[in-house]
Chains A and B, each alone.
Chain A
Amino acid sequence: MNIAVTGLNATDNPGPGVPLIRSIREGEGFSGNLIGLIYDSLEPGIYMKDIASKCYLIPYPSSGLEQLYQRILQIHEKEKLDLIIPCLDSELYGFAKLQDRLSAIGIKTFLPTIDQLNIRAKDNLFDFCKSNGINVPKNILANSLQDMYSIPNNFNYPIAVKGIFYDAYIANNFEEALTAFNKLRVKWGYPIILQEFIRGDEFNVVALGDGKGNMVGAVPMRKLYITDKGKGWAGVTLDNPILMEISKKVIEKVKWRSGMELEFIKSAETGEYYLLEINPRFPAWVYLAPSAGQNLPYALVRLAMGEDVEPFTNYTSGIIFVRSSWDLITSIKEYEKIATFGEY
């Protein structure tokens, strides 16, 4: 089986490609090739031993679908791909729109629907949660600078200012909010999400939905160490039925298809959990899932290939991940291969 995976950018703002490949390689009964689809000749995953057997540069999502499709066709001719697992938020719309064309040439995907992707892009998360009894922070979408000046009075500072795909800032006053807004606007465009800031501890859940309303598995985690960029650098699996319950509800209600990460905050004031965000792909810490007994990435592969997958029923709590940085050594000759030929 030949599986292509994106997001090998295991940097300080990591994509989940490397841990995803690591998980699949460890899947029981798995045999096949894992191929990296990369955007930059310096993505660390390219240079890691025993991760991708081969890497190909692909065009950025912002350069349009047709280019992406043509490049995948070229790669498919050489590699006979069975499955592509895109791992970055900004890719998902594109791949979701391409999935029929990919399927027509024999490449499977296992993606959320456009509607499911829109849950977070279009303010629906708020409405969805409200109507399903799930706590959410107040939310508005800003589509212009003008909107910033109309932040309703019922928003108390600090507020969270978030890009539609990545990046979030906490703003303590209007000026800070404006600075954050401008940074995000330049990088990710509109809309920009302004969110009530809830003080408390962060919790995350990695989960997999089968698209029919079943939660195939889920593992909750609490970050133990957070970098100054807000990335979890260490975390521990938890035994937390409430988080499992809410995650299950979300997956059942939206019939979520694909891997996902749910971000929660436990309000220091009320002790209740608020759903902050749904990330429509596995998180960079997904390798914790197989380590705790649920190989969710491999389960996704099996679902994508049309197999029946029994839901996981348990996992081990108290499993810790600690991320490390490690310098990989390579030579300019190796770099040249990717930079000039787009393959490695």
Chain B
Amino acid sequence: MADKKRYERPVINKHYSGLMNKFGSRPTTAPKTEIDGVPVNDLVKQFGSPLYVFSEKQIRNNQRNALRIFKTRYPKVQFAWSYKTNYLNAICNIFHQEGSWAEVVSEFEYDKARKLGIKGEHIIFNGPDKSREALLKAIKEKAKIHIDHFDELYDIIELTQETNLKAQVAIRVNLDVGVYPKWDRFGFNYENGEATQALKRIMMNKNLQLIGLHTHIGTYMMTAEAYRIAASKLASLARFLKDEYDTIVNYIDMGGGFASHNTLIGQYLPAEEVVPSMEQFAEAIASGLYELNFKVDEMPTLILETGRALIDDTGYIISTVLANKRLSTGRRALVIDAGVNLLFTGFWYKHSINPAQDSGVNIEDTTIFGPLCMNIDVIRETINFPSLKKGDRVVIDYTGAYNNTQWMQFINMRPNVVMVMEDSTVELIRKSENLDYMLNREILPDKLK
């Protein structure tokens, strides 16, 4: 029998003027058949779909790169892994192996870091929600407590008096860096003098050892200049402490917030084009800090709590096509087995999505839905996508940040999470949930049995 031609579904595309043309959209999706050298199909065969996949190599690369970029511009740099961004143990431990401390914002995260063997003094305890019990533990273990508000400050003063222990503290400062919205609900305000007020209050108390200054100006920041302004304002607080109290802070913590390379839904140009590079952020922070004019050995350590920019592009979700649909408007739609329950970041990112197999060159403007029985379950409102068959797979890119912490157990249970290791072996790092796991926490009152 003569060789038959390769089949591809019949496609008709209408020409619209002023919209995406064929040449504008043809290669938007290139098949992504493997992740770090491991075939997508093998991963699914072994671990099921949907599936979260992380790349150990990429995580280490990102962290090493970032450290190098900052170290070449500022002498003393310490990263602290922002747990809320992704607190799976395997992920945290890679960062810890790379020398990062832990940055936590709840007692749960604090305990998680301690369980991983992180010493109190290498934990930065942030956030507005620290119970007295949590504070006491942190004081005893010499964790670095970043005070968010006066009520917390008074709690700490009381606790240190009661126990006669010393607390290692810093304050979180919010400041105007010319970017809106201002994150002024966290910490003490710089411009209205509240921050200086808090510092004075701390300096009056022998039990409180002021070791640092902290800010976190927002997340997904698209301007490096904002960091220069923030660094220079913290520098001026540090100078105030030196002049008034002859106290030299050990560190200045600039928080996180560097934009990753995911494109926001409201953004016209792709993120790779408009987002500042890590070098630009580093340059800006270093130039702000150098305004300190301290002697070299007095320069504080620069702490960074970078989250999404280190982890976003190391994670993927593999998902399977459940159905093809034609909406009443004639629009093509694809239903896949990963919804916003697993891709929380789909609410604000236009995640890049690629088929995991060769899917032909004919593309069509498509809406991609998740499997939930909810109208909000939209993974991509509009994407130029080839035609896929039921059972085909797609790979959603850059899903590493916030999805494994903000995921929802809704309608379905959470699937497996695996990591492709540097040697290309694959490790399961979080087992999929099952009914027993779910029921384990439930209690059915006797009279309802």
Q: Can you name 10 extra interface pairs (CB under 8 A) apart from A67-B24, A143-B179, A342-B23? A: A39-B21, A61-B268, A64-B28, A93-B273, A93-B274, A94-B273, A122-B223, A185-B266, A190-B266, A339-B21
Residue B17, interface by CB 8 Å: yes
**In the bound complex, how far is the Cα of B267 from the Cα of A287, in angstroms?**
33
Q: Which residues of B lie under 8 Å from residue A339 when comparing CB positions?
A: 15, 21-22
Q: Which residues of A lie under 8 Å from residue B39 when comparing CB positions?
A: none
Q: Which residues of A lie under 8 Å from residue B25 when comparing CB positions?
A: 59, 63
CB distance from B174 to the nearest CB of A (A): 15
Among A42, A122, A144, A147, which residue has its beta carbon within 8 angstroms of that of B17? A42
CB distance from B426 to the nearest CB of A (A): 28
In this complex, the interface size class of chain B, counting residues with CB under 8 Å from chain A, is: 20 to 34
Task: Write out, one digit per residue, whether chain A residues 261-292 have a CB within 8 A of any chain B CB (1) or not (0).
Answer: 00000000000000000000000000000000
Ranked nearest first, the 9 interchain pairs of A and B with the lowest CB-CB distance are: A57-B23, A59-B24, A147-B180, A342-B23, A189-B266, A93-B273, A189-B268, A60-B24, A189-B267
Residue in B26, B180, B181, B223 with the greatest tally of chain A CB atoms within 10 Å: B180
Interface pair B268/A188, CB less than 8 Å apart: yes
Within B136-176, which residues are at the interface with A (CB < 8 Å)?
Answer: none
Interface pair B28/A67, CB less than 8 Å apart: yes
Residue A71, interface by CB 8 Å: yes
Interface pair A144/B268, CB less than 8 Å apart: no
Q: Which residues of B lie under 8 Å from residue A251 when comparing CB positions?
A: none
**In the bound complex, how far is the Cα of B264 from the Cα of A140, in angstroms?**
21
Q: Which residues of B lie under 8 Å from residue A190 when comparing CB positions?
A: 264, 266-267
Give the nearest-CB partner of B18 in chain A: A40
**In the bound complex, how far is the Cα of B28 from the Cα of A60, in angstroms?**
11
Q: Which residues of A lie under 8 Å from residue B28 when comparing CB positions?
A: 63-64, 67
Interface pair A65/B270, CB less than 8 Å apart: yes
Contacts A142-B180, A146-B180; is A71 near B23 (CB within 8 Å)?
yes
Interface pair A143/B24, CB less than 8 Å apart: no
Contacts A122-B223, A342-B22, A342-B23; is A64 near B270 (CB within 8 Å)?
yes
Interface pair B181/A147, CB less than 8 Å apart: yes
Residues of A within 8 A of B (CB): 39-42, 56-67, 70-71, 90, 93-94, 97, 122-124, 140-144, 146-147, 150, 164-165, 185, 187-190, 339, 342
Q: Can you list 13 A-B contacts (CB < 8 A)?
A: A39-B21, A39-B24, A58-B24, A59-B24, A59-B26, A59-B27, A62-B268, A63-B25, A64-B28, A141-B180, A339-B15, A339-B22, A342-B23
Q: Which residues of B lie under 8 Å from residue A71 when comparing CB positions?
A: 23
Residue B20, interface by CB 8 Å: yes
**In the bound complex, how far is the Cα of B181 from the Cα of A172, in angstroms?**
24
Interface pair B15/A62, CB less than 8 Å apart: no
**In the bound complex, how far is the Cα of B193 from the Cα of A16, in angstroms?**
51
CB distance from B392 to the nearest CB of A (A): 22
Residue in B15, B24, B272 with the greatest tally of chain A CB atoms within 10 Å: B24
Q: Which residues of B lie under 8 Å from residue A150 when comparing CB positions?
A: 180
Give the nearest-CB partner of B273 in chain A: A93
Interface pair B17/A40, CB less than 8 Å apart: yes
